[in-house]
Structure 1
């Protein structure tokens, strides 16, 4: 299986403020806000949806291809991908730009203040799906707006089945745009909040949207997920995590499970359970790419959790 993953590559700088934001932000002065937070803890992680999805697919023994754009500061990420033996063939370097970056400050109540710089993501339209070969399935995850629209059309023209995964990119699109994505895609995956937004913007119910694709997948956090397929709603349980440390990248891990299951002809119950398990493995580790189970570990965990083997 070779999946083409169109989406973002990013550096995540995560800082911890050892207090509560509310103690330092005065409501009556919000119109002239000027605050500074001392953050003695900081870590920098490799992230971005495309990078995270590819990382998890590699754990499953697949051969992911990343189609993304990066900036002049990409060298550490490039070395990371080389170490993982993940191809950089379709990662375009954009001069005079930064790789996308998120700067996240978290307080002791897990409130977050995030600044996101898209950088080279804005040039994702310079990449074209037909530049990749031997692709059996694709996914469009959050990326530059023009690139997402273009890649959806190109997947459809190439006859390559793909998942539409709008994620945090959904606010960039109106109802007509979202309907165009759904009509071009073979599969759609959203979380429960995005599902509500998708219905509001398109004017369609989940049942109506599901009729336009082979499957509509809605993740629901600790409640598991629902897969609308073949005229039914398949309830997927949430796999148990050894501990809950960091949800960053859990959705991407789940999507890797979807890609692997679809490409390998698994039934929806098994595909959803594999996706759920990958999310549970990830949440027990900080960052999107720091969990490192072997494929055999994943298979053993799957059987222990669900009572049967996956192919």
Structure 2
């Protein structure tokens, strides 16, 4: 199974604030907020949702195809992804703009305040998925993640026109989207990814009920934070999967991308949805234990040992048969 992952490619600047944002905010003065946080640490890391997902898939041996736009400063990042099993041959390089940048501060309660500079990401709308398919042979699924909004709409429409199954996953772009855009990005998706808050926001903005959403997508995947994930399909019982116990909570940035990496790798392997969700939850656990979205190391023996402890020997036996 060939999966292309479209979305942002970015450099992350991650900082930690030792206090709580909530203690610095005054309820009746929120309309005039002007705050500066003295942070303890700064980590400059590779990021972007599409690159994060591809990194995890690559470590699992799932050979993902990265689709997105970056700047001339991408070459070192490209070499890193290539070394970790990612096909970067369909990344568009801008002649004028820098690679996108995410600047995020996390407080003691793991709440986050972030800003995102789009940069070269704005040129993702110029990428033709058919050219990607022609280069690699064929595409079985396109995961359409947070990206330039025009690119997301264009990729979705091209998938529909060409009959390519697609996964809708708007995440950070959901806040700026209206109901019409969300409906256009959702209709006919093979998979719809979101967290609990995004689930409510989708239903509020579109006016669709949960049943309406399920009537329009094949499978709905809701991440539940520390409680794991819920998978819904019309006319089928829900599937709920918990998370393995983490060794520590170092940084929540990129945890959702880690889950998607494992889940999509499970689809490449052809395992059942429950097993794919378990694979994803295990990768997400590795991400939260590490500062940075691509700094974790996925070692086969350690992964299988922890997976077995969390989900049992039968589940582990099915996964180990595919693990590279």
* TM-score, normalization by structure 1: 0.91
Match of 2:204 among 197, 200, 206: 200
**Structure 2, unaligned runs of 5 or more:** 320-324
User: Does structure 1 retain, via aligned residues, the 8 Å contact 2:192–2:219?
Assistant: yes
Larger deviation: 207-216 or 22-31?
A: 22-31
2:318 matched residue in structure 1: 310
Q: The residue matched to 1:88 in structure 2 has which SS?
A: strand
| Pair 1:154 & 2:158 matched | yes
Match of 1:189 among 189, 193, 217: 193
User: Does structure 2 retain, via aligned residues, the 8 Å contact 1:163–1:189?
Assistant: yes
Q: CA deviation at 1:153?
A: 1.4
Matching of residues 209-248 of structure 1 within 5 Å: 209-229=213-233, 231=235, 232-248=237-253
Q: The residue matched to 1:67 in structure 2 has which SS?
A: strand
Matching of residues 1-311 of structure 1 within 5 Å: 1-18=1-18, 36-39=36-39, 41-108=41-108, 110-132=110-132, 133=136, 134-229=138-233, 231=235, 232-307=237-312, 308=314, 309-311=317-319
RMSD value, Cα: 2.3
1:212–1:79 distance in 2 versus 1, CA, 3 Å: same
Q: CA deviation at 1:180?
A: 2.1
Partners of 1:285 and 1:178 lie apart in 2 by 33
Q: CA deviation at 1:22?
A: 7.0
Q: CA deviation at 1:138?
A: 1.6
Partners of 2:305 and 2:109 lie apart in 1 by 35
2:322 matched residue in structure 1: none
* TM-score, normalization by structure 2: 0.87
Partners of 1:28 and 1:268 lie apart in 2 by 47
Larger deviation: 207-216 or 70-79?
A: 70-79
User: Does structure 2 retain, via aligned residues, the 8 Å contact 1:49–1:142?
Assistant: yes
User: Does structure 2 retain, via aligned residues, the 8 Å contact 1:152–1:184?
Assistant: no
Give aligned pairs, total.
311
Larger deviation: 156-165 or 18-27?
A: 18-27
Q: CA deviation at 1:186?
A: 0.9
User: Does structure 1 retain, via aligned residues, the 8 Å contact 2:110–2:252?
Assistant: no
**Structure 1, unaligned runs of 5 or more:** none
Larger deviation: 16-25 or 53-62?
A: 16-25
